[in-house]
Amino acid sequence: MLKRIFAIFRARNLEFMRDRSSLSWNIVLPVALMFGLSFIFSGGDRAVYTIGVLQSADQIDESVHPFLETRYMDFVPVASEADGFRKVARHRLDLLVRFDPPAQYWVNPDSPKGYYAEIALLQADQRNEIAKAQITGDAVRYVDWVLPGILGMNMMFSCLFGVGYVVVRYRKNGFLKRLHATPLRAIEFVIAQVASRLLLIIVITAFVYAGTKYFLDTRMEGSHLTLLIIAIIGSVSLISMGLLVAARVTSEELAGGLLNMVTWPMMLLSGVWFSLEAAEGWVRELAKVFPLTHVLDAARAVMLDGATLRDVSDEIAWLAIMSVVFLTLGASIFRWRSN
């Protein structure tokens, strides 16, 4: 028995080692992830408090006020008052401060962290010339905040792996070749795959959403129709991305490597588990190339802040553009058969 096991073990190892593309991905991907993560999170100690500073400049100038030199506080520029007020109301900022005259700060009386951040501000403000204002609002529970992330992540995995892997398997076992011998066109096949997975993912996502809404009473400030539109266009863009990845690949292992290469950065940079508001500007810009970032930004805006379809039209437009680009590219380079 051991002899047979070893024979299969050896054959599989040889197959894997000789599949250079898969081997490369299995080595390159973890190394790239390791370097990427160490680069993104190399900013030293994490801040305990997040303070918004109302200003037009992109950079915080610590010389403006002694409070800005306080340790363990992360000072982020906030360009608009409305945006700052909304974040203080939702406890996403512990304090909002304006040092330009007339100097003022805004704090949420229901925020424990806001209370301590205010003490630190008043201690640093020796001249006692900064005015206080209050903004009220319920805290966004982590479950409310993370729910769109979890739904989005599930959509991402289902769309990318569910479509990408299946197409590669069809190609590898000759089923695509059989379809190619019929009048079916590549774009027809691609659209059928998109439609099939879209139906599945919308039903599953709606089911999970309804369950969490019922059991956890998760927040929904906006319209369900707007959320459905975001889910549909977001799913189409992610499925199209999966089809593009699988358009020519003939090895399931290479497909797995490529799909991991696009899913892991989205997991980390699209705001599934944590907000990137405190991240470097270039990281936030980079995250915008991923469809999941736009899906989550739009879904959170609707669910947490009651954004309308018009408010999230930018995100929807980006997702639509990405879908068209991925689908067109995928259909044009689509290969029916393995070599």
Partner 1 sequence: MPTALEARNLVKQYPGVLAVDDVSFSVAEGICFGLLGPNGAGKTTTVEIMEGVTPPSSGEVWYFGKPAGRKFREEAGIQFQNTALQDFLTVQETLEMFHSLYNRQADLERIIEECALGELLDRDNRKLSGGQRQRLLLAVALVNEPRLVFLDEPTTGLDPQARRNFWELVQRIRAGGTTIILTTHYMDEAHILCDDIAIMDEGKIISRGNPDELLRRQYKNVIIELPLEDVNGALDCIEHRVLESQGLIEVATDDVNASLQLLAANVTGLNRLKIRQPNLEDLFLDLTGHSLRA
Nearest to 64 by CA among 53, 72, 48: 53
Residue nearer to partner 1 on the CB measure, 179 or 261: 179
Amino acid at 119: I
Residue 336 binds to partner 1 (criterion: CB under 8 A): yes
CA distance 260 to 256: 6
Report the residue from 179, 220, 228, 261 that binds partner 1 according to the rule CB under 8 A: 179
What residues from 215 to 274 belong to the interface with partner 1 (CB under 8 A)? Answer: none
Residue 182 binds to partner 1 (criterion: CB under 8 A): yes
Q: What torsion, rounded to 10 degrees, do the Cα atoms 89, 90, 93, 96 define?
A: -10
Task: Give the shortest CB-193-to-partner 1 separation in angstroms.
Answer: 12
Residue 177 binds to partner 1 (criterion: CB under 8 A): yes
Query: How distant, in Å, are the alpha carbons of 162, 163, 252, 253 from that of 169?
Result: 11, 10, 7, 11
Report the residue from 181, 214, 215, 285 that binds partner 1 according to the rule CB under 8 A: 181
* Site track 142-161 with partner 1 (rule: CB under 8 A), x = hit: --------------------
CA distance 122 to 135: 18
From 144-152, 176-184, 264-272, 294-302, give the range in contact with partner 1 by CB under 8 A.
Answer: 176-184
Tokens of 5: 């096991």
Report the residue from 39, 178, 195, 321 that binds partner 1 according to the rule CB under 8 A: 178
Task: Give the shortest CB-191-to-partner 1 separation in angstroms.
Answer: 14
Residue nearer to partner 1 on the CB measure, 49 or 175: 175
How is residue 199 annotated by DSSP? Answer: H
For 32-71, give the DSSP string. HHHHHHHHHT-SSSPPSEEEEEE-SSSS--GGG-GGGG-T
Task: Give the shortest CB-180-to-partner 1 separation in angstroms.
Answer: 5
Residue 199 binds to partner 1 (criterion: CB under 8 A): no
Strand partners for 75: 51
Task: Give the shortest CB-293-to-partner 1 separation in angstroms.
Answer: 34
Helix H or strand E encompassing 211 = helix 186-216
From 43-51, 113-121, 168-176, 207-215, give the range in contact with partner 1 by CB under 8 A.
Answer: 168-176
Tokens of 18: 């000789």
Residue 195 binds to partner 1 (criterion: CB under 8 A): no
Residue 10 binds to partner 1 (criterion: CB under 8 A): no
Nearest 5°: the CA angle 295, 300, 305 is: 140
Query: Number of residues in contact with partner 1, rule: CB under 8 A?
Result: 14
Assess contact for 315 and 294: CB atoms under 8 A: yes
Task: Give the shortest CB-45-to-partner 1 separation in angstroms.
Answer: 52
Q: List residues binding partner 1 (CB under 8 A).
A: 170, 173-175, 177-184, 336-337
